[in-house]
Chain A
Amino acid sequence: MIEHNELIILLLGLGVLVFIRLNISHLRQVTAFRVLLASYGVVVGGFIFTVLEGIGWEKLFNILEHISYMASILMLLIWCWLVFVRKEKNRQ
């Protein structure tokens, strides 16, 4: 069964995607933006899997949801490393 709060989270996530699309020209200048965008994309994927979890294949989508969150945080960690460590080294 689809829960309202999960649907709201998904809508909020999609709204943020629209925001990103609208400001993509500025955001492209952010270091390793693709990694950050991918991280967010995977989170949105997790939101989708959460919603889909209520419709069917509950176990599969649940696993996919958790994998998505994990992947998202790992990519965020990579982005942080690229921004705070690698870029500094290059600058030096």
Chain B
Amino acid sequence: MNIAVLDVISTIAGLCALLLLICRWKKALTRNTRLILGGLMLVNICFTLCLFFKWSGINTGLVIIEDSVGMLLPLWWAFVFYALMGESISKASGEREAALKKEITERQAAEERVKHSNLELMSITENFSGGLLMETPQRTIEFVNAAFCRMFAIPFAPEQLIGCNCREAAEQSGLLFKNPADFSAGIEAIIKAGEKTQFELLEMKDGRYVERDYVPVLDKDNLLYHLWIYRDVTRRVKAEKAIEHAANEWRATFDSISDMIAIVDNEFRVLRVNKAFAARFGKAPKELINSLCYRIVHGSLAPREDCPYTKASQTGRPATTEFYEPAMGISIEATASPIYIEDNRQTGAVLVIRDVTERKMLQQQLVLQDRLASIGELVSGIAHELNNPLTSVIGFSDLLLQRDFPPDAKEELDYINKEARRSAAIVKNLLAFSRQHPQEKTAVDVNHIINQVLELRAYAARNKKITLVSDLTRELPPVLADAGQLQQVFLNIVLNAEQSISAARGGGTLTIKTGRRDGQVAISINDDGEGIPEEFMDRIFNPFFTTRDTGKGTGLGLSICHGIITQHQGRISVQSKPGKGTTVLIELPSIE
């Protein structure tokens, strides 16, 4: 191997390294290090060139230089390592310095952030409308804000309270509350439980309401502070109480209305009903919620055609419908008033259902009275007209009967006389019915009049095998009445009863009872006769209405009774079951 070639390669490599260093002069490493490194390259090149010249035999005189350069080589390497070491040290210290600067900057930033946070926290706590109290686990005050001092009328600045014993302060503050013992005990219990509590309502002696929250401030599992937050919620609580009171008042009013009221939505579903509504159907109000109103009221699968709610929905105005409801057995007046909310949208309706059965009956009675009055006037005129000719017929027939006539003619005259007298009796009754005689009202003992009637009918009743039973209440209050008219009423009813008993089975019992009822004198006349068919019940007080054969009854008895009793501000009603008997009930106002 030619050693000179190796030296040439070494020299070229050295030159390349030097060239690279020069080309990248400003990249990496410091200037001094680069210079020393360049020196090493030159020393290396010189050394290898010396070796090349020595071994190629070109110039052997360079041996001396080779020795010098060879001596320089380890020393220059030492410079290089020294320079690099210095560079790494300065680099490390630079990094450390940079890290330190960064740490200082970060710490300053962190301190600034903490300062800002503290300012924010202070601002929040000072401007917080509620009272804040922070105490240590040893129950000494760590922090308290101004609102807390104001809330509990503490005559100190918040700073003055720091370090005070919280237990003693709580006992003193407790005196401001309605139940001081509960206040102190509550604090102890909450601290003992150590759990977060919220919205605990406390009532103060001065009428204020305070809401209390408790927050245990923890660092992992270590309790650092007890934080108490107090808020004055007087206005809210009073508003809530007012709302509650108003709601209760509204509910009580709603439930106290005797009419049935239901609030329904657009789908006919019941949202709310009052007690009267629920009671009518034998249920609690809650049981009817969400039920369909027509299912409840009519028991049907669809609303009625004349449903007031349907009408009200169509017209947008309240609608009323009156009808007889078979499912309830009463006549009702149903009114639906649509409910509108703010955007004029209908959300449902208020249904008011009123039992008008009694009103209907009263209306019917009024109609009947009106009709009776009209007929009375008509009959009065006719009766007056008939009275004179009948008197003539009776008078002349009496005269003729005193003469001698053949027996068959006399029999016919007698018939004329009797029929004329019967006609006169009818006319007399008609005149009585048409109130032609002025009333003479005095304090009357009803029992006495009934006894008179019973005495009057005792003989006839015995003949007809009718037992007369009287159950008269003693010390019955008197009534202000025309005694003659009352006697006529009782007599008419007793006669009707006798005829009914006779027609039914040829004998029976007629019972008359008297008593008091709701401040009135009540008289009931009961028979066990044939009764009145149901279809005739609504016509029995009509004049000239009779179920008897022609000529046996005028059909005026009960009409007259009705007229007399009504004139006495009383009431008369009939209850009857065909085949079982009839009861006539009369109520007259007592003088007491």
Contact = CB atoms under 8 A, between A and B. Distances in A.
A67 B5 CA distance: 10
Contacts of A43: 73-74, 77
A87 B48 CA distance: 29
B279 interface: no
Interface in B233-262: none
Nearest to B78: A16
Given A29-B91, A83-B28, A88-B27, A73 B14 contact: yes
Contacts of B51: 66, 69
Interface in A72-90: 72-74, 76-77, 80-81, 83-85, 87-88
Contacts of A83: 28-29
A5 B71 contact: yes
Contacts of A19: 78, 81-82
B9 A12 contact: no
Interface string B1-34: 1010011011001101100110110011100000
A8 B70 CA distance: 10
Given A70-B6, A73-B48, A84-B20, A63 B1 contact: yes
Nearest to B40: A76
B27 to A, nearest CB: 5
B238 to A, nearest CB: 74
Given A16-B81, A23-B81, A27-B85, A8 B71 contact: yes
Contacts of A50: 70
Contacts of A30: 84-85, 87-88
A9 B74 contact: yes
B353 to A, nearest CB: 93
A8 to B, nearest CB: 7
How many interface residues does chain B have, given as a range?
35 or more
B183 interface: no
Contact of A26 (B17, B73, B85): B85
What is the predominant secondary structure among interface residues of chain A facing chain B?
Answer: helix
A67 B6 CA distance: 7
B44 A76 contact: yes
Contacts of A23: 81, 85
Nearest to B92: A29
A15 interface: yes
Interface in A36-92: 36, 40, 43-44, 47, 50, 62-63, 66-67, 69-70, 72-74, 76-77, 80-81, 83-85, 87-88
A2 interface: no
A77 B20 contact: yes
Contacts of B10: 66, 69-70, 73-74
Contacts of A76: 13-14, 17, 40-41, 44
Interface residues of A, number: 40
Interface in A8-37: 8-9, 12-13, 15-16, 19-20, 23, 26-27, 29-31, 36
Interface in B176-214: none
Nearest to A77: B17
Nearest to B64: A5
A73 B81 contact: no
A13 B74 contact: yes
B537 interface: no
B401 to A, nearest CB: 161
A5 B70 contact: yes
Most buried by A among B44, B71, B81, B88: B81
A36 B77 CA distance: 10
A29 B89 CA distance: 9
Nearest to A79: B17
B67 to A, nearest CB: 5
B28 to A, nearest CB: 6
A8 B89 CA distance: 30
A9 B9 CA distance: 23
B47 interface: yes
Interface in B70-128: 70-71, 73-75, 77-78, 81-82, 84-85, 87-89, 91-92
A67 B48 CA distance: 11
A31 B91 CA distance: 12
A15 B75 CA distance: 9
Contacts of A62: 3
A68 B183 CA distance: 95
A27 B92 CA distance: 11
A77 to B, nearest CB: 4
Contact of B74 (A5, A16, A70, A84): A16
Nearest to A67: B6
Nearest to A27: B85
24 contacts: A5-B67, A8-B71, A9-B70, A13-B74, A15-B78, A16-B77, A16-B78, A27-B88, A29-B88, A30-B87, A43-B74, A63-B6, A69-B6, A70-B7, A70-B10, A73-B48, A74-B13, A76-B44, A77-B14, A80-B21, A84-B20, A85-B20, A85-B24, A88-B27
Given A8-B71, A26-B92, A70-B6, 5 more contacts: A5-B67, A6-B70, A63-B1, A63-B3, A66-B10
**6 pairs of A and B residues whose beta carbons are closest in the complex:** A84-B24, A12-B74, A29-B88, A13-B74, A70-B10, A66-B6
